[in-house]
Amino acid sequence: MRADNITYSKAYDFAIRIVKAYQYLCEEKKEYVLSKQMLRSGTAIGANIAEANGAISEAEFSSKISIAYKECLETKYWLSLLKDTGYMGEKSFESMHRDADEIAKILFSILKKTRINK
């Protein structure tokens, strides 16, 4: 089983946005702690999808997709915290949170299908 290229591409594009947001938060807002957490979890989504695509069993695939889903939820948390503490503007937050939510829904759908097939 594999996550489709669209899911991987969305996660990769999202990771690029996360890296750019991290750079902005460090350079312009001098915020290093929350943004580092966002960077770690936001880039881990695509990395875990990549690992899932190399899985040697359905159980391993499901485990990596599950981790990617959880990293996505964690990223949404950090985005909310950055917005609510005034480090991230509403417009940037809404856009990034919407993208994270879309990826989370796709990953959850993949997870449901892999769990039902067991």
Domain harbouring 81, CATH code: 1.20.1440.60
The whole-number average pLDDT for the span 102-108 is 98
Helix (H/G/I), strand (E/B), else coil: 103: helix
User: Is pLDDT at 117 greater than 80 in this prediction?
Assistant: no
Give yes or no for a contact between 72 and 100, defined as CB atoms under 8 angstroms apart.
yes
Q: How far is it, in rounded angstroms, from Cα 69 to Cα 88?
A: 23
Domain that holds residue 96: 5-116
- pLDDT score of 94 more than 80: yes
Using CA atoms, how far apart are residues 76 and 72, in angstroms rounded to an integer? 6
Under 8 Å between Cβ of 101 and 76: yes
pLDDT surpassing 90 at residue 116: no
Q: What is the pLDDT of residues 37-72, one digit of tens each?
A: 999 999 999 999 999 999 999 999 999 999 999 999
Give me the number of domains the chain comprises: 1
pTM: 0.94
Residue 68: predicted pLDDT = 98
Query: For residue 108, what is the enclosing H or E element?
Result: helix 90-116
